[in-house]
Amino acid sequence: MKRSWLFLLTLFTIYACQTDDIPEGEEVQNPEIPEEPSDPDEEKPGQPWVEGFYLLNEGNMSMNKASLDYMNFKTGEYRSNIFSSSNPDVVGGLGDVGNDMGIYGSKLYVVLNASNKVEVLDAQTGTRLKQIDINNCRYITFYKGKAYLSSYLGSIGDPSAPNGIVAEIDTTTMEITRRVEVGRQPEELVAHNDKIYVANSGGYSPPDYETTISVIDINSFSETKRIEVAANLNRLKIDSQGDLYVTSRGDYLEIPSKLYVVDTKIEEVKKVFDLGVSNLVIHNDIAYMYNTEFSYLTGDYSVSYTMLDTKSETLLDGSFIAESQKDLIKMPYGIAIHPETEEVLITDAMDYVTPGNLYCFSPEGELKWMVQTGDIPAHIVFRYSSSHE
């Protein structure tokens, strides 16, 4: 990989992660430095604008290598390992396996699966506000002043683990207020029309996978229904029409992975796409999807990139990454769309044991810039200039 255009800078002054001074322990890369940085406050008076984004590196399990990076769009600086530099008194760093994160109001919530905790940080500075302990936590979403967190419970990998839960967190007090039992090993979740939908996987006990989405009534905080879908569910997104897009990983052998569309009005599957989807993001009624498929014949992975119009529920021709650029990415692992520029951000886990890469592609699929990340870069969340919920 060519890194001649990257440089590292380390100073010995500890400030917040978005200041001009570089705290001790951070690494800084400058993939693109604006010649004359614009002032978004003048361009969009009174409106929130995207200042940058956080990237959560998962790190390998049992190695305590999860880390948090930050990209500042105004300065063009990409800073690595900002949690440790912003919290020098926290022993052990961020934790083990960064599984998800999200910003709500002024707070950044980072879910650390193997460390059994959620770190609540100041979204502006990256400093710790509170640690919330919850066993085997997975994914987080937000709705009407609350955070909702899926949790496997039990020990990692235990086939006799109990049913999982969804926990409600008050975003003011940062305390867990309610819990509700769902299926085994619940994964991604969304909140919509005073309900929570969570994909159950049952991944600890193959071939006895779960096949349903749990429906939770938020007011009573009880599971009211399970929507039958397919085996081993994982990703769960919602479009502007209120339809859920949920991925089934199958059994990795005889049952193929597929993409399902669930109508939340009738809470039933309305359409099935015969394609595997490892991850997806929906932006402006377009689902950007990639898939990494392992072949027992070739002993290697095949990678594909597809788009889907969520209004017409049809696959689109072409790809969101130009053919000439696809070989840059060895193992896509995370995806996000810049909400203003529609640039596509793709993370590359590489070999899963060494630092990965982050690529930024134009809306036309051409490479704009890249940076080196921590181990297994996975999750991206954009930070706005003011509260943007």
> What pLDDT, in 10s, does the model give residues 74-122?
899 999 999 999 999 998 899 999 999 999 999 999 999 999 999 999 9
Q: What is the pTM for the complete model shown?
A: 0.90
* The pLDDT of residue 18: 44
Amino acid 253: pLDDT: 84
Question: What pLDDT, on a 0 to 100 scale, did the predictor assign at position 239?
Answer: 98
| pLDDT at residue 9, as a whole number | 30
Q: Residue 300: its pLDDT value, please? A: 74
pLDDT along the chain (389 residues), means of 10: 33 36 70 54 68 97 94 94 94 94 97 98 97 97 98 94 97 98 98 98 96 98 98 98 97 91 98 97 98 74 93 96 94 97 97 96 96 97 76
End-to-end Cα spacing for the chain: 38
The whole-angstrom separation of Cα 245 and Cα 209 is 19
SS3 for 43?
helix
Q: What is the pLDDT of residue 389?
A: 46
Strand partners, 141: 148
Given 3-state DSSP classes, what are the helix, strand and coil percentages for the chain, each rounded to the nearest 5?
5, 50, 50
Alpha-carbon span 45 to 145, nearest angstrom: 26
| Residues found in the chain | 389
The secondary element (H helix, E strand) that includes residue 82 is helix 82-86
Please tell me whether residue 277 adopts helix, strand or coil conformation: coil
The amino acid occupying position 60 is N
pLDDT value at position 348? 98
